[in-house]
Amino acid sequence: MPTLVAPVMGTTVSIDVRDVSVAPGALEAAVAVLQALEARFTTYRETSEIRRLERGELALEDAHPDVREVLDACAVLRAESDGAFDANRGGRLDPSGYVKGWAAERAADVLRAAGARDFSLNLGGDVVCAGEPEPGRPWRVGVRDPHDAGRVVLVLGVRDGAVATSGLYERGAHVTDARSGAVPTHWRSVTVLARDLATADALATAALAMGEPGPAWAAARLGCEVAAVDADGRLFTSPGLEAARVA
């Protein structure tokens, strides 16, 4: 059964396909999609479309349709989070809080088009799951304890869904409330289980930025369940998430 691990988007993608009849080169094609999207959206390359838009060298109407799609989605998320999530702050354009999950779903679409029905795609800890790794068993996705890198706070069993976590434990204060510029302190991490990783990743980031009401706000979205760990290490879970927990 094909597997592949590759560096991309400043992290690592790990693909595990359990179908034996997937078209040759499908995993490499999925990684190539991630690499192309990284080149388009990264804030670390002066030549990316995001940086060129930021500097006024590229008009939005002339940008790639992917860029317009992502920025439109970010604008919707900004409105729905009452401004806590904002891809355009202080003259900087940074949609990375949405792009990673969205890009992972685009890569997963490549696998689906190649005939994959049972696979997982893990991009920097955020996971797209399809089907089952073996009959009768879901994919197992561990959620790290933000206070202790050596343990998990829960394990989720996932079929045809996605899990994303936003936390302050790896890259420090990289998430802020765009309304105040302050680093959120109520929650140490927020995890969202959703139908797709674009939604899960965006809601996890926005919920963490929103502070105390964030997890309940995310859990109110259709098809979404939430787990969150507060500054004291206490775990909050939405009722539907408990149904996905495995021992």
Fold designation for 3-246: T-fold (3.10.520)
Q: Does residue 172 register a pLDDT over 50?
A: no
Query: What pLDDT is stored for residue 203 in this prediction?
Result: 95
The answer to whether the pTM exceeds 0.75 is yes
Q: Pick from 100, 83, 90: which is nearest to 41 by CA?
A: 100
Our CA dihedral for 177, 38, 33, 139, rounded to 10 degrees, sits at -40
pLDDT at 185: 81
Angle, CA 238 vertex, CA 14 and CA 188 arms, to 5°: 60
Which pLDDT tens digit goes with each residue over 202-234? Answer: 999 999 989 999 999 999 999 999 999 999 999
**How does the average pLDDT of the chain come out, rounded?**
92
Parse the chain into domains and list their residue ranges.
3-246
Under DSSP, is residue 230 helix (H, G, I), strand (E, B) or coil? strand
pLDDT tens readout for residues 65-100:
999 999 999 999 999 989 888 898 777 899 988 999
Residues in the chain: 247
User: Any alpha helices (H) in the chain, and if so which ranges?
Assistant: 26-41, 49-54, 65-80, 96-113, 197-210, 214-219, 239-242
**Alpha-carbon span 84 to 138, nearest angstrom:** 34
Measure the CA–CA gap between 85 and 95, rounded to whole angstroms: 10
Reported confidence tier of residue 178, pLDDT bands at 50, 70, 90:
low
